[in-house]
Amino acid sequence: MLIGYARVSSKEQSLKIQIEQLKQLGCDKVFQESASGKDSEREQLNAMLDFAREGDTIHVMKVDRLARNTIDALQIADQLSQKGAGLIFHDLGNVDINSDVGRVIYTTISAFAEMERKRILQRCNEGRERAKAEGRHLGRFPNEALHQRIQELAERGMNKHAISKELGCSRTTVYRVLERSNARY
């Protein structure tokens, strides 16, 4: 059986292209999820690994869609190999990862993907630090109307839990707004 696995790193990204490509390849079943590669609990990956049987071939469009690091990539490959299932990455061509040469290629590409992920994280952290040092605002901009409404309701004597329910915001937001306004409610 041909099985596909598609993953995107965030909810904002789309699985559509990967799924279409996997279906064009003839995949009978496609496991799909929106989860960061660094998340070790990926339900659909685990479901795919449980589902795979001897003779199945797992198709993944890119190496970095399957594993979060080189060790994880090798463990997944070993699991599939022990079941007698194949694994094909379409960005590597038709490389058999169960062969010695395929294993070396897979390990090397996985290591580079892991290194690139770490470099991206480092650049993001450096950018945040630079912005912070320059006094630029980080995060969402405050919703002044919401903050004003929280203060008004607190002044009327409404408790923090009731305010959060009334306005549909978290209690943490209510506490933070009131704390920043130095109000005693």
Report the C-alpha gap between 60 and 66 in whole angstroms.
7
As to burial, measured by CB atoms within 10 angstroms (0-12 exposed, 13-18 middle, 19+ buried), residue 175 is middle
User: What does the pLDDT read at residue 99?
Assistant: 79
User: What does the pLDDT read at residue 39?
Assistant: 54
User: What does the pLDDT read at residue 36?
Assistant: 61
Among residues 57, 11, 1, the alpha carbon closest in space to that of 32 is found at: 11
* Spatial CB neighbours of 37, under 8 Å, sequence gap ≥ 6: 7, 9, 64, 65, 67, 68, 117
Whether the predicted model's global pTM rises above the 0.75 cut: no
User: What does the pLDDT read at residue 170?
Assistant: 92
pLDDT digits (tens, 9 = 90+) for 136-181: 878 776 788 899 999 999 999 999 999 999 999 999 999 999 998 8
110 noted as active-site residue: no
User: How do the domains of the chain map onto residue ranges?
Assistant: 2-118, 144-180
Catalytic residue among 9, 34, 81, 181: 9
User: What does the pLDDT read at residue 1?
Assistant: 95
What are the residue ranges in the chain where pLDDT is below 70?
A: 11-12, 36-40, 94, 141, 183-185
> Contact 22/1 with Cβ under 8 angstroms?
no
User: What does the pLDDT read at residue 34?
Assistant: 84
Which 3 state secondary structure label does DSSP give 143?
Answer: coil
> Contact 48/66 with Cβ under 8 angstroms?
no
Architecture of domain 2-118: 3-Layer(aba) Sandwich (3.40)
User: What does the pLDDT read at residue 57?
Assistant: 93
User: What does the pLDDT read at residue 110?
Assistant: 83
User: What does the pLDDT read at residue 70?
Assistant: 82
Report the C-alpha gap between 59 and 37 in whole angstroms.
17
